[in-house]
Amino acid sequence: MLDKNKPVVPDEWMDKYGFVPPEVKILAKQALAEYDMKVFEMKLITTKPDKGGAIWRLETSKGTRSLKLLHRRRARSLFSIGAQDYLSRRGARVPALIPAKNRKLFVDLGGKLWIVNTWIKPLTQASKINPDGAAKLCYGLGEFHKLSRGYRPPFGAERNSRLTRWPDYYQKIINKFNWFRVLAQTYRDAPASSHLLSVLGRIEKQARTGLASLRQSAYAKLAARGEKHWGLVHQDYGWSNAQLGPGGVWIIDLDGVAYDLPIRDLRKLITGVMDDLGEWNLKWIKGMIDAYHQANPIEPGLYEVLLIDLAFPNEFYKHLKEMIYDPDAFLNSNTARLIQRLMKMEESKGSALRELRNWKGGRS
């Protein structure tokens, strides 16, 4: 008989184990016993050892499937499980959840939830060497957002919404920039400190302008339409979690889905791709926005908010936020070079955004 509380899945196992702790392996087999299938082969694919999560590929009597140990709290995992099932039933290209023998879409064991998914094959990564690959990802993202509208989480799920939190998020980053200044002044002799102090004023001004622009924009009215109207964002959408397969782009790893304005995912994807390219390339950006718009039209007010979010120094913060944990080690010569590269990217971005403000493209 299963004891869903013992043994408990460790929240962290990075320091102690190279792969998966023995107690987790035992729980995985207990979880699989709750499904109507024979498992012939079980291969560990990936782990999140710092959070307590893992994925196995299964060869079973019912075909290839996957077993996933969700690393978040039970109630939070219920939100994403419900979302995955909702999207799958609406025809979205996401892996279908396999019900357990008791017809539930999960097994509650060891303090965490476990799920079994269909295994989509073949899947290939979209090309990173030309704008067509990025455009395909954006089209798939638009499809995902459109189909996620109307989602209601199941009973007992922890509601995860970022829809009305943008101003608070912007302010949090502005506050962190002040922390960066204090740390750079405290560790003034570190190689990167002078570089950071020389640019923080410009970055903070850029961030404060972004917050003011957001407050003056259509953001509040858009957010007021509510969670059901906008649906879900993936939050970690990119080359690995969105791949080409049967019928188009398949989206995996839905653990972090949340209610939000959909263009938050699009902004993250664009800024990430530009960071990889090393410059803000208008041809790529326009192709990405056009492709998304074809799948999920972007109204003018939403486009305005997209440009505000693109202009905010998100990438600067993303690359430097770890400094607060060990500033003396972080503020090294490599970080000094990183800061120089990030500032060049901000200049490149400013030029691109000036043109995008007047561009209609395929959105008209």
Condensed to tens digits (0 to 9), the pLDDT of residues 301-319 reads 999 999 999 999 999 999 9
Q: Inform me whether the pLDDT recorded for 4 exceeds 60.
A: no
Superfamily (CATH H level) for 131-363: Aminoglycoside phosphotransferase (APH), C-terminal lobe (3.90.1200.10)
pLDDT at 21: 87
| CA–CA gap between residue 129 and residue 10 (Å, rounded) | 40
- Is the pLDDT score of 6 beyond 90? no
Residue range 22-118 in CATH 1.10.3210.50: no
Greater confidence (332 vs 4) lies with: 332
Q: Tens of pLDDT along 23-61? A: 899 999 999 999 999 999 999 998 887 778 899 999 999
> Residue 68 pairs with which residues in a beta bridge?
55, 115
> How far from the centroid of its chain's Cα atoms is residue 342's Cα?
21
Cα-Cα end-to-end distance for the chain: 61
Task: Fill in the DSSP letter of residue 321.
Answer: G
Confidence (pLDDT) at 47: 87
Mean pLDDT rounded to a whole number for the chain: 94
Per-residue pLDDT at 1: 47
* pLDDT for 54: 92
Q: How far is CA 247 from CA 88, 144, 290, in A?
A: 14, 13, 20
**In the chain, which segments carry CATH 3.30.200.20?**
22-118
Q: Is the pLDDT of residue 225 over 70?
A: yes
Residue 277's φ and ψ, nearest 5 degrees, are: -70, -25
How many CB atoms sit inside 10 A of residue 245's CB?
16
Residue 286 has pLDDT above 90, yes or no: yes
Find all residues with CB under 8 Å of 318, minimum gap 6, and list them. none
Average pLDDT over residues 157-185: 97
Q: Mean pLDDT throughout 153-178? A: 97
Query: What is the predicted pLDDT for the residue at 333?
Result: 97
Q: Are 284 and 273 in contact (CB under 8 A)?
A: yes
Is residue 271 within 8 Å of residue 314, measured between CB atoms? yes
The values of phi and psi at residue 324, to 5°, are: -70, -20
Residues 158 and 76 sit within 8 Å (Cβ to Cβ): yes
Average pLDDT over every residue of 134-144: 98
Q: Does residue 327 carry a pLDDT above 70?
A: yes
* φ/ψ (deg, to 5) at 48: -120, 75
Q: CATH 3.90.1200.10 spans which residues of the chain? A: 131-363
Q: Which residues contact 112 (CB under 8 A, 6 or more apart)?
A: 9, 52, 69, 70, 71, 74, 77
List, in order, residues 6 or more apart from 165 with CB less than 8 Å away. none
Q: What is the pLDDT of residue 66?
A: 97
Could you read off the pLDDT of 97-107 as tens digits, one per residue?
999 999 999 99
If one compares 6 and 259, the residue with the highest pLDDT of the two is 259
Q: Are 200 and 176 in contact (CB under 8 A)?
A: no
Which of 95, 88, 105, 92 is CA-nearest to residue 35? Answer: 105
Tokens 């994807």 belong to 269
Instruction: Say how far apart CA 164 and CA 261 lie, in whole Å.
Output: 9
d(CA 356, CA 352): 6
pLDDT band at 360 (very low <50, low <70, confident <90, very high): confident
pLDDT at res. 17: 56
- Are β-strands 248-251 and 107-109 bridged in parallel, bridged antiparallel, or unpaired? unpaired
pTM: 0.93
How open is the CA angle 92-134-246, to the nearest 5 degrees? 35
